[in-house]
Every structure is written in C-alpha cells, then in structure tokens.
Structure 1
Amino acid sequence: MSDWMVTRGPSPRRRPRALSPLREHLRDTFWFAPTAAMVGVFVVWLAAQELDAALVRSLQDDGDYDTLAELLRFADDAKTVVSAVGSAMMTFIGVVFSISLVAVQMASGQFTPRVVRLFVRSRITKATFAVFLATFVLTLLVLTSYDSNADPRTATSVPLVQSVLTLVMVALSLLLFVMYVNATLRLMRVSHVIARIAAESFRVAALMPVPAGGGAPGLGPVTAWFAHDGQAGVLRDVHVARLVRVARKHGVVLRLVPRIGDFLVPGTPVLAVHGGPAPSRRALRYALSVGVERTFHQDLAFGLRQLSDIGLRALS
C-alpha cells in the first residue's frame, strides 16, 4: 500500500510539473518526434522558398542578371545532388533501421525483453529517424521548386537557400548516423545497459518524496473510495499536480492505494478519500495512467525488475 503518496501539497523542494506525465508518455512513443520533424521542416521550407523568391525579385529589380544566371547554374548543379539524396534516403532509412531492429531483438533475447524500451526512449534514435525523414521530405519539396525556365529575366524561382538547406540536412543526417550506430552498439553491451538502467533508477529515486515515519498519521477515517473502472493494466504513473488541485479545492486528502507498477483490474480501489466528501469522478479523470507497460516516470521498482531480469538471464 503506497500510503506515503498523500496529496497534502507539493514538496517544498520541487513543484509538480503539469506536463510531466504527458512528456513521459510521449517519450515512450516513436511517432511524435518524426511527425514533429516533418511538420517543422515543411514550415522551414516555406520560409526558405520565400527567401529564394525575394532574392530573385531583388536581383531582377536591380538588373543584376549576371549574378542571377550564376545562381541558376548553381541551382541546376545542386538539383542533381538533391535528386540523388531524395532517391537514396528512403532506402537508407529502411536498411539502417531494419538492421537496428535485428540488433535490438538480439539484445532483448540476451538480456531482457524490457531492453526494447531503452531503444524506443533513446533520444539519439528518435533524432536520427526524425532527421532522416525530414531530409527526405525536404528533398521532395525542394524538387518541386525548381523552375525549367533558364532565362534570368523571366525566372521566378531559384531554390538557392533550399538547396543549401538540403545539403545541411544531409550533413546532419550523416553526423547523427554515426552517433546512432555508436549508441546502438552500446545497447548491445550488458555493462552499458545496466549503467543506463541504474542511472534512470537513481534519477527516479532522487525525485521520490520522503516517506513519513509510521505511515500517514492524522488523516482520519476513510470517507470514500475510488475504484478503477477502466481497462486492466499496470499503473504507470499518477498526475500529482491534478490530484493536488482537486484535493485543495475540496478540502480533502487523497491517498493512493496501489503502488506505481501494480496491476489493476476493474473494481480495484485506487484512491482513498480522507477528511470530507468525495470529489466527483470527473474531477479525477486522467489523474491515473494505466497501460500495458511500466515506465520509469514514477516507478522505482521497475529498474530493480529489469536488473533482476538481466541477472536471472545470466544465471540461466
């Protein structure tokens, strides 16, 4: 029973972060970073397109057609590079991440299946995948900006800034690829996996509130219970800031009954109310996150579980 997690108010050392659960849940997904990168590169491409158009208009207004002709030749040469990058990037992405998934599968079979979450939560993995996809999308967008008109007096588009931006993205992709290979190789070594799990466990332990001696005295009798009414799963984390706001608004104390990481079924008591009438169930909506997989956000025992899995696999 997790009687120590009582919503008396925020800790004086650290205030609850309102978006902390959302941030942690997004880190457990693999779609958010690539999607954000593709949307971001589209916005950047629109800005680069406007800069190119403004540059062409400025040179035409000044009558500097020689410089504009040189820019047209440079853009035509860069088009070959952009086309090659666009045709090869998707193949490169498929090969790299297919081999990576095989490596992760080998690591999960050798250490513990839970090591897959380290790959999913890895910032370098998401950054590499996001930049690769963003580079591919950018090349497609840049190719649509090339003008077949080679006359500097009537040209309307010279994708100079866009071509330079594409080359920068290619260089960034190569740099991230080297870092990604290094991170994946480290993931296959048990010492680095253990160090990663231990570091996350210590980080979670440092953020844990100090348990009150002898439980939580002075709470009074339980006036109401809240039971889990959703799908069965593990208790991933608790939105502490939301619970604190509800408890202060209604003048009660909300006590978490199960531990973070416990498996819940419909009807399991999850919150006990002390000191007053129970808040509405709608007010406590989304206060508890239940899913199919445990996370490190507030679950200190999850790190010990992973280390135990690695130890058992080594002894078997």
Structure 2
Amino acid sequence: MSRLQFKTLAARLSLSLANAVWLVPVAAAGLALVAAKTLVDAKITVPNAVSMFLSTGSPVGARDLVGTIATTSLTVATFVFSISMVVLQLASSQYSPRLPGQFLRSRGTQLIIGTFIFTFVYSLAIVRVIRTGKEFVPNLAVTFAFLLILCCVLALILFIHHVVQSIRVESILAYIERKTSKAIGRTFETLGEDNEENEEKGEADAAIPEHAVPVLVEESGIVRRIDGNDLVQFARSRRLVLRLVKKLGQHVTAGTAIGWVWTEERTSRASPADEVRDELSVAIQLSGDRTLKDDVEFGFVQLVDIALRALSPAINDPTTACNALHSLGILLVKLTGFQLGDRFFFDEDDRLRVIVPQPNFTDFLDSVITPIRQAAPDDTSIALCLCSLLTDLARAARTHEHHKALCEQLERVHSAYGEGAQQAVDAERIDAAVEEVERALAGRKPRSP
C-alpha cells in the first residue's frame, strides 16, 4: 500500500468513526471482557473491615446475583433503545428530519447505552467463572458487578433527564446554535484588512481559463471535508492552481467536476485529472450525510427547518418559529465579524493556489429570511420577529455588503407584510418595526418605548 493510499484510507476511516454510533457500545463490550479477566485473576489482599463487604456468599448465590444483574442490564438497555427510537421519531416529525442523527451521535446517549452494554457483557463473563463444584467465587469481581448495576440505575435516571431535556425545542435550538457557532469559528477567518487584501488579490486571478482541466469525481456524495492546507501543498508541488466549484455540504454526482485545475503560467494544460484525483481525495472527502462539525450552512438549514415546520398548518406554532429566528439572528450577528465568500489560499511565495467556494453574508441572510417570509405571508408576529432580527443585524453590520443585503431584505419584508396586513393596527405595528430597522441602518438611536 502506497503512502497516498494509506492517507486516503486513514482519512476515510477517521470520517467513518466520527459518525459511528456503534463505536462506544462496542468499545464498552471489549473493555468489559478485559475488566472481567483482570478482576477474576486479581490477587488483592484487603483489610478484614473491608472483606465483609466483598463477601458474596455461596457460589450458587453469587451466580444468581450476577445472572440477575446481566438480565436486568440487558432489559434496561432494550428499554433505553426503545425510548431513543420514540424520541427520534417525535423529533423527526415535530421539528426536522435532520435531527435524529445528532441525537444518536450524542456522546451522552452513547455513554449511557455503553454503560448497560458494559454491565451486561461483564456479568456474562463473570457468570462463566463461578464454579459450584470447586466452590470458587471471585468476590471482588462479583462485588464490582453489584456496583455496576448501581451505576446502571444512575445512568437510567440521567438518561430520562437527558431525554426530557433534549426533546424540548429550546434545548434543540440551543444545541444547534452552539454547534453552528463553533463551526463558524473553525470555518471562517476573522474580518480584517489583510483578508480584504487577499480577497482582492485572489479575485483577480480566480477566473477559470480556457485550458483548465476538470477534476471529475468517481462516486456521488456530499462534500464533507475540505482541507485547504493540504490542497495548497498539492497545488504548489505541481505548480497548479485549483478552483473548487462545490461548496462544503453540496451534493456531487459521479462523473461531474468538483473543481478545475490549471498551470500557474496559464499558458499550458495541467496534468490529466486522473493523475491528481487520488491526491485530492485525501483533502476533499465525500460522505453520505451532513454534520454540524464544519458545515455552517447545515446549522442554518436545521434552524430554518424548525421554523418552517412550526409555521405549517398542521402545527401552527409561531412562538417556536420566533425562537428559531432568534437563534438564527445570534448566528447571523456572529457572521458579521468574519470574512465570508470565496476563500483564497496562497502558498509561501504569496501565489494563489486554491479557491474554495463559500457562501457570503447575502446568501446566509437570504436563506433565513426568504423561506420564512414566504411560509407566513400574513402572520404579523413573524413580520415583527423578522424586523427585530434585521434591527439587530443593522446594529452589528460592518461592511457595505451587510448594509446592502439588509436593505434588500427589509424592502421585501415591508412589501410582503405591510401591504398585506388585514387590520390597520397590524399595519401600524409593522411600519413602526420597519422604521426601527431603517434607524438602525442609518446609525441612529432607537426610539424610546
């Protein structure tokens, strides 16, 4: 196996393990076998005052105790799994079909299930070594099994608390908001003069020339990871410039181009794409689903989904929609402090090497305002929530792009709700909210309440 093939395999394995729901339970089962073997063979001398607590009686009694623990832990593990399925179904139908995977990937859920699996496998292993004929009872191992079942009781209580908390819409919104906020910090660079200079320099050389060679993908999937630094090293070693045309989280179809490469001189054709595709597979990884780790847009998609589901005729819950808009507003305000849009990577010689497409502020704002505005064109409370969001953004806006995008969305919101208000009092409230947004955009202080 070549070094490139090893790196590709390692990258795919790392990506698979990051999403694996089975990893913690399987690891718990393996550790249980190791723990059982260690405690059975342990030669530990304890004081007399402690030995009375380790006494487990006759082999028959010890076997019955451990057998009961194994049966109970498996029964409770089945119960926990059943409750998890109910929670997933409820979350999928009530909020968004993209939420169940995150609940299962929760380390808290996996650790609780792993606790029951550990207890069950450990107890089975201990039952095998309790021999009635030779009157052998591993007191320390049996006592540890008893302590494990007490831990299972505690884990069950924690799981019930976890389920009750996780099914609340406020907890779901807070979880998505927190994960997306972290992804913003990892994905985008802080807004600054150096970034603006790099953007101007990169845009001048970012156009795809006629002799560029497409980089085709062999399998369909979703762009899950893009490592800009690895791409720069690849492009620099071959004296190439690479421009990706698919963003993080976008679908890619087998046989289509995920990017284009050309020589830095722009006078000759680059190497055939087949020669570079394997190297790019290390830095650009495809998957079957999206996660919140680096995919900022996916967090926005989930929050918008919750708002749209709440506004549907079957649910009709504008309060939840406004709560989702509040979380979206927090994330949008945070985005104003980062350099958005296509990202340009330069090598050590300050040569443009890689262009990675990324959404800009206008894209994020439109993905939030437009679908919610269209889903509730006659709901005054939603109009006021949208205006409140735009007001906060207007106070936080830093660039001309921010102001321009906000002005465009404000005009659309006012046109959709101001003219369609069924009562005069609603039209007055909407007009007042729009005026507050305009005052914020102009840099004036808000009116006194």
- Normalising by the smaller structure, the TM-score range is 0.7 to 0.9
Residue 245 of structure 2 is aligned to residue 257 of structure 1: yes
Instruction: Describe the shift of the 1:102–1:272 C-alpha distance in structure 2 as closer, same or farther (beyond 3 A).
Output: same
Structure 2 letter corresponding to 1:297: K
Give identity over the alignment, percent.
Answer: 26
**Distance in 2 (alpha carbons) for counterparts of 1:86 and 1:164:** 14
1:28–1:120 contact (8 Å) kept in structure 2? no
Task: Give 1:162's match in structure 2, choosing from 141, 145, 149.
Answer: 141
1:77-115 Cα offsets, whole Å, 9 max, x none, are 443321111122222211222122112211211111111
Higher helix share: 2
TM-score, scaled relative to structure 2: 0.56
Instruction: Describe the shift of the 1:93–1:253 C-alpha distance in structure 2 as closer, same or farther (beyond 3 A).
Output: same
Instruction: Describe the shift of the 1:221–1:118 C-alpha distance in structure 2 as closer, same or farther (beyond 3 A).
Output: closer
SS of equivalent residue, structure 1 residue 282: helix
Q: CA deviation at 1:240?
A: 4.7
Task: Give 1:34's match in structure 2, choosing from 25, 38, 44.
Answer: 25
**Distance in 2 (alpha carbons) for counterparts of 1:281 and 1:90:** 48
Task: Give 2:89's match in structure 1, choosing from 101, 105, 108.
Answer: 105
Q: Provide structure 1 residue ranges, at least 5 long, that are not aligned to the other structure.
A: 1-17, 60-66, 152-156
Structure 1 letter corresponding to 2:199: G
User: Which deviates more from structure 2 when the two are superposed, residues 255-264 or residues 188-197?
Assistant: 255-264
**Distance in 2 (alpha carbons) for counterparts of 1:239 and 1:164:** 50
SS of equivalent residue, structure 1 residue 158: coil
Residue 269 of structure 2 is aligned to residue 285 of structure 1: no
1:228 aligns with 217
1:6-26 Cα offsets, whole Å, 9 max, x none, are xxxxxxxxxxxx988755543
1:246-265 Cα offsets, whole Å, 9 max, x none, are 33543444333211111111
Residue 116 of structure 2 is aligned to residue 132 of structure 1: yes
2:73–2:152 contact (8 Å) kept in structure 1? no
2:94–2:309 contact (8 Å) kept in structure 1? yes
2:69 aligns with 85
Q: How does 1:1-316 map to 2 (within 5 A)?
A: 23=14, 25-51=16-42, 54=43, 73=57, 77-149=61-133, 157-210=136-189, 212-214=198-200, 215-218=202-205, 223-231=212-220, 233-240=221-228, 242-275=230-263, 277-278=270-271, 280-316=276-312
2:218–2:255 contact (8 Å) kept in structure 1? yes
1:85–1:136 contact (8 Å) kept in structure 2? yes
2:223–2:250 contact (8 Å) kept in structure 1? yes
**Distance in 2 (alpha carbons) for counterparts of 1:179 and 1:19:** 35
**Distance in 2 (alpha carbons) for counterparts of 1:23 and 1:174:** 33
Q: Provide structure 2 residue ranges, at least 5 long, that are not aligned to the other structure.
A: 1-8, 190-194, 265-269, 313-449
1:276-310 Cα offsets, whole Å, 9 max, x none, are 64453332334333233211222110000001100
**Distance in 2 (alpha carbons) for counterparts of 1:85 and 1:101:** 24
Greater relative contact order, per chain length (Cα 8 Å cut-off, separation 6+): 1
TM-score, scaled relative to structure 1: 0.77
Structure 1 letter corresponding to 2:95: F
Moved over 6 A (4+): 18-21
Instruction: Describe the shift of the 1:162–1:274 C-alpha distance in structure 2 as closer, same or farther (beyond 3 A).
Output: farther
**Distance in 2 (alpha carbons) for counterparts of 1:258 and 1:185:** 39
**Distance in 2 (alpha carbons) for counterparts of 1:21 and 1:303:** 23
